[in-house]
Structure 1
Amino acid sequence: MTDNQQQLAKVPEVTLLFWVIKIAATTLGETGGDAVSMSMNLGYLVGTAIFAVVFLAAVVAQVRAGKFHPLLYWTTIVATTTVGTTLADFADRSLGIGYAGGSTLLLLLLLGSLYSWHRSLGSVSVSSINTPRAEMFYWITIMFSQTLGTALGDWMADTAGLGYTGAALIFGALLMVVVIAHYASEISPTILFWAAFILTRPLGAVVGDFLDKPHAQGGLELSRYAASAALLAFMLVCILAFRQRAAQSAH
């Protein structure tokens, strides 16, 4: 590995473009996950198995890559969102854990992952993602955050009675609080990054549900396939048309 590669993490620099693509990816995860498990009638368990294989393959490719590759990175992110969607739905609905129970369990797993990561490597900053060990912690943490986001989004939209638009406004407002804190407070940028990263997932979940759920449930009842294709096309345009740089490594 060259000196230049050692100065770069294997994740993208956190910019406005990063967050735009991240929200699109989380929304795609919801519509894509529902398309396989519901529209194709494969069920949550089979859908989870399919997306888990894709996720593992993408993570292996990402860890083995010598440097940051935008298409590979965002493919892995989408894989975490789709498997997170079907896994959360399987736990919440098929296993009967419920949204509250599922969200609580996943939050504990997420916090445990961050704690173990920090205890092992001393940092959970994205600028430190330049070793296989750090990458594994990173993707495990993201996996938990994406699954948590699905459960949390469904909990707020359904159980809390906010509906998809109401839940989207709540999560959007919370994201704005994080943005304001970034510019107007001295809170650690790493803490704010993970707060925003976690919040974008339930936002994408409720927006995805709003797009493809029936009118009777407060959705637009769009085709899950069409919505997924449009979101994928939007992501590809963003990735291919705008250059993304790797985050500067802290090491």
Structure 2
Amino acid sequence: MNRQLLNKVPQITVFFWLIKILCTTVGETFADFINFNLGIGLTATTILMGVALAVSLFFQFRAHGYRPFTYWLTVVLLSVFGTLVTDNMTDNMGVPLEVSTAIFSVLLALTFGMWYISERTLSIHSIYTVRREVFYWLTILFTFALGTAVGDLYSEQLGFGYLYTGIGVAAIIALIYMAYRYLKLNGILAFWAAYILTRPLGASLGDLLSQPAKNGGLGLGTTVTSIIFLVLILGIIIYLAKTKVDHTDENVAMTEVSSNKGAKWQTVALLAIFLIVGIGTYQLRMQTIAPHTTTLKGQLTAFIKTEEKIKNAKDKLVMKQGADQLEHDWDQQEPALRAIGAKKWTSVDTTIDGVLSAVRQSGDQTKVQQAVTQSEQVMQSIN
């Protein structure tokens, strides 16, 4: 684990942050595209992306230095896979987003802790041994999974929406930059804090662009959004490969690696601020959306009626319009319904995803009717 390498990570420039946000956006939209538009399902999508990620990591670890195409392909695939890990915990295993957030926060903290104890630095400009690279990619995976959980928690479950969640995260990143620029916040700490937050920022941007206007988006769809961002990523990578503007400046790297002054106390302070603000916002919002009932009984009738219209539709356009309406109404009611009964909400959400996938994949009436029947059975048992 001590094989000496050239630094495997790019210099932190504006291109780094731009492509990172683009990658996180693709992670959100491309995972939805494969899962829903291609209709292969969440589990199969996760396995497919896991295999692709393993192949990409194999070539990344074999490289003897920073290679833009290999490096950023790995980041894109980690973004997709990290998103899918959280989605699987939520949809397939019924794990609440609050629990997912706590789990990935602990895993990320443990990874940082073991990395620092082992290497005495968390600088990404010191990734020149296999062991450090293992820590680095584990950290990236957990940042994507954590960012997905936090982003979904605030934008969907708490009902803040994609736009306001994105604006809020962008404002926090701006404050971190100002603290780094003017208040001498440790550079490594500032980097990792901003890096984690770019995940919910990119995810909110992806949902804002891809989701229908009824759901608070711009209606571009996951296909168009994924293509646009993948083309932009490819263009930037080609530019970086030719110009080498993001290759590490060794003088800057050594300065950053040796600069740990005040980092421990700043880390404690920053974590305390995040916990106070995050938990405080969560508690206040939960009080705002607190339901007037403690049971889902009678709350699902409108969704059953919408699904009946989808099942009886003879025209694919009418069927798709019904699916869009179902998705919109379900997303609108998510904060309140989830607060009443998260476990039952998840079971219904899974079957509704099946209906949406059946409609958007092919529109085959037999498959749609089967999906609707299954969903109605679940909802009627609860309703």
| Same fold per superposition (TM over 0.5) | yes
Give the conservation status (yes or no) of the 8 Å contact 2:212–2:221.
Answer: no
Number of the residue aligned with 2:166: 168
Considering only aligned residues, what root-mean-square deviation do their CA atoms show, in Å?
A: 1.5
Q: Within 2, Cα distance between the matches of 1:211 and 1:86?
A: 19
How far did 1:132 drift?
A: 0.9
How far did 1:223 drift?
A: 2.6
Q: Give, as a single letter, the amino acid of the residue that structure 1 aligns with 2:52.
A: V
Structure with higher RCO (Cα < 8 A, 6+ apart): 1
User: Which SS does the other structure have where 2:219 is aligned?
Assistant: coil
Instruction: Map 1:76-87 onto structure 2 (within 5 A).
Output: 76-87=74-85
How far did 1:201 drift?
A: 0.5
Residue 61 of structure 1 pairs with residue 62 of structure 2: no
Listed one character per residue, the Cα deviations across residues 6-31 of structure 1 (whole Å, up to 9, x for unaligned) are: 6x511000011110111011101111
User: Which SS does the other structure have where 2:27 is aligned?
Assistant: helix
Listed one character per residue, the Cα deviations across residues 106-159 of structure 1 (whole Å, up to 9, x for unaligned) are: 111111111111111111100110111111110011001011111111111012
Give the conservation status (yes or no) of the 8 Å contact 1:99–1:152.
Answer: yes
Number of the residue aligned with 1:246: 247
How many residues were matched structurally?
246
Equivalent residue for 2:212, pick from 214, 218, 232? 214
User: Which SS does the other structure have where 2:48 is aligned?
Assistant: helix
Q: Within 2, Cα distance between the matches of 1:107 and 1:238?
A: 31
Number of the residue aligned with 2:359: none
TM-score (structure 1 length as normaliser): 0.93
Q: Within 2, Cα distance between the matches of 1:89 and 1:211?
A: 20
Q: Give, as a single letter, the amino acid of the residue that structure 2 aligns with 1:183.
A: R
TM-score (structure 2 length as normaliser): 0.62
Runs of 4+ in 1 over 4 A off after TM superposition: none
Number of the residue aligned with 1:38: 36
76-85 vs 53-62, which deviates more? Answer: 53-62
User: Which SS does the other structure have where 2:8 is aligned?
Assistant: strand
Where in structure 2 are there 5+ consecutive unaligned residues? 258-383
Number of the residue aligned with 1:90: 88
Give the conservation status (yes or no) of the 8 Å contact 2:22–2:233.
Answer: yes
Q: Within 1, Cα distance between the matches of 2:13 and 2:123?
A: 15
Of all paired residues, the percent bearing the same amino acid is 34
Q: Within 1, Cα distance between the matches of 2:56 and 2:158?
A: 35
Number of the residue aligned with 1:124: 122
Q: Give, as a single letter, the amino acid of the residue that structure 2 aligns with 1:246.
A: H
Number of the residue aligned with 2:21: 23
Number of the residue aligned with 1:156: 154
Residue 193 of structure 1 pairs with residue 191 of structure 2: yes
Q: Give, as a single letter, the amino acid of the residue that structure 2 aligns with 1:87.
A: V
Q: Within 2, Cα distance between the matches of 1:85 and 1:41?
A: 17
Q: Within 2, Cα distance between the matches of 1:82 and 1:52?
A: 9
Give the conservation status (yes or no) of the 8 Å contact 2:12–2:246.
Answer: no
Q: Within 2, Cα distance between the matches of 1:124 and 1:198?
A: 14
Listed one character per residue, the Cα deviations across residues 216-250 of structure 1 (whole Å, up to 9, x for unaligned) are: 32122323122111101111111222433332353
Number of the residue aligned with 2:134: 136
Larger radius of gyration: 2
Q: Give, as a single letter, the amino acid of the residue that structure 2 aligns with 1:202.
A: P
129-138 vs 46-55, which deviates more? Answer: 46-55
Give the conservation status (yes or no) of the 8 Å contact 2:13–2:246.
Answer: no
